[in-house]
Amino acid sequence: MKYVIVIPDGAADAPQDSLGGKTPFQAARTPAMDSLAARGTVGLTNHVPESLPPGSEVACMSLMGYDPLAYFTGRAPLEAAAQGISLGADDWAVRCNLVTIQPAEGGPIMEDFTAGHITTEEATELLAAAQRGFAADFPGLAGWEFKPGVSYRNLLLHRGRPGAALLGSDLRATPPHDLMDKPVGDAFPRGTGSRLLTDIMARSAAWLEGHPVNEARIKAGKRPATHVWLWGVGRAPAMEPFAKKYGMSGTMITAVDLLRGLAALAGWKRLEVPGATGYLDTDYAAKGRYAIAELDRTDLVCVHIEAPDEASHQGDAAEKVKAIEEIDAKIVAPIVKHLAGAGDHRILVCPDHPTFISTKTHSRGHVPFVMAGSGIPASGQRSYDEIAAAASAKRIEPGWKLMGEFLGR
């Protein structure tokens, strides 16, 4: 038996006036997903417990079959795992976005949580400047390191000492993508260590201002990285290997570090696809081709696509519809065609969480799923979207149990 999971990140949404009262899924032309609905099971699930933040770090952990209430410790440790960074018992990882914050009448606002999708090379130079600034402004604090990642997605690591914890498990911080075009004044960290993180964020403005990278970006009409924004704090999780938990191997195809990290912690292979960007310009067709080829080497292939989520953060309904159509035509359709001649198989399509165009932010709540293939009965739905899923009697909650049902465990 071969298994494929397709995760259109943040694709679930509400009806949009700009789409004639339809959701993006309803407005998109998705013949491949609709064909799965006609011969398979459509329903609703919820991957985000009420007590946890409504982001991909929680929701994708659930989609991979792990109970977030048992395993989730924070987003940054997942991204550290993606980079092969080992965290000790007293170490902490903090997600570090390079962002653009600008003055406004009601107080500074988050103009861009990606700093204009700054390049990895530019981010590396700016974080080196931040490291020098940190050393100068916090001479008594050792064990802190800015670690470049990809583009605006970076880390701040703290190597702690036993009995000398500066951060605590009660520390909470707001993801910058939840603050698009909103004031940041009341969105700073709370809890043990929050004063230090807030101070680092505030002082970063001076570390980055006037840097040659920012000066060049401004001259080119691009947004500068004005600050670092710290969030997603946590320690290393201890996830049970997927092979032990479910008895099979897996491969992750993604352009996003937190999914790479989840895959690493689960013991899955991580397959890098040329042209996969984690943005609207990703090479959808390449992801489909690589997924098909990988099925010869592993039991389960998971394809994660960030584009619908990015379109939602921009508040762009047309781009979200386009991303869903690209996923259907260039990933789902060719995979379904291949599986038809590949013996016993199952395929699952499910977003991790809703990301509403109206708010430009992640949300907890139900998302539609469709699964089809060997041994999966038809539920009587003719399309795959939020409304069809709500009309179905099928509910799987909590969401982490969806994996077991999909695998027949």
User: Are 197 and 246 within one domain?
Assistant: no
State which of 201, 234, 267 marks the end of a domain. Answer: 234
State which of 172, 205, 234 marks the end of a domain. Answer: 234
CA proximity to 308, closest of 248, 368, 263 = 368
Q: Is the preceding omega at residue 398 within 30 degrees of 0, hence cis?
A: yes
User: Are 219 and 248 within one domain?
Assistant: no
Q: Do the Cβ atoms of 112 and 190 come closer than 8 Å?
A: no
Token pair in block for residue 75: 């987003």
Domain count, the chain: 2
User: Are 247 and 276 within one domain?
Assistant: yes
Note down the domain range covering 355.
Answer: 2-70+241-407
Residue given tokens 């902490």 in the structure block: 92
Cα torsion 288, 292, 294, 295: sign: positive
CA distance 255 to 362: 19
The angle, 0 to 180 degrees and rounded to 10, between the axes of the packed helices 56-63 and 257-266 is 40
Neighbours of 85 (CB within 10 A): 18
Q: Could you tell me the CA-to-CA distances from 37 to 30, 97, 160, 324, 373 in Å, in that order?
A: 11, 38, 50, 16, 11
What is the pTM (predicted TM-score) of this model? Answer: 0.86
| Residue 314 burial by Cβ neighbours in a 10 Å radius (0-12, 13-18, 19+) | middle
The answer to whether residue 76 sits within a structural domain is no
The answer to whether residue 85 sits within a structural domain is no
State which of 234, 256, 284 marks the end of a domain. Answer: 234
HSE (CB half, 13 Å, CA atoms) of 359?
Answer: 12
pLDDT of 409 reads 86
User: Are 175 and 282 within one domain?
Assistant: no
- pLDDT by 10s per residue, the chain, length 409: 999 999 999 999 999 999 999 999 999 999 999 999 999 999 999 999 999 989 999 999 999 999 999 999 999 999 999 999 999 989 999 999 999 999 998 899 999 999 999 999 999 999 999 999 999 999 989 999 999 998 999 999 999 887 667 898 899 999 999 899 999 999 999 999 999 999 999 999 999 999 999 999 999 999 999 999 999 999 988 899 999 999 999 999 999 988 999 999 999 999 999 999 988 999 999 999 999 999 999 999 999 999 999 999 999 999 999 999 999 999 999 999 999 998 999 999 999 999 999 999 999 999 999 999 999 999 999 999 999 999 999 999 999 999 999 999 8
Q: Do the Cβ atoms of 33 and 330 come closer than 8 Å?
A: no
Q: 306: domain CATH number?
A: 3.40.720.10
HSE (CB half, 13 Å, CA atoms) of 137?
Answer: 17
Q: Name the region of 374 (left: φ>0; alpha: ψ -120 to 50; beta: rest).
A: beta
Token pair in block for residue 362: 């992640």
Q: Do the Cβ atoms of 313 and 263 come closer than 8 Å?
A: no
pLDDT of 164 reads 66
CA distance 289 to 127: 36
HSE (CB half, 13 Å, CA atoms) of 257?
Answer: 22
pLDDT of 161 reads 80
Cα torsion 213, 218, 222, 224: sign: positive
Percent of the chain scored above 90 by pLDDT?
90
pLDDT of 166 reads 86
Residue given tokens 């700093």 in the structure block: 115
Task: Give the residues across from 369 on adjacent strands.
Answer: 43
The answer to whether residue 80 sits within a structural domain is no
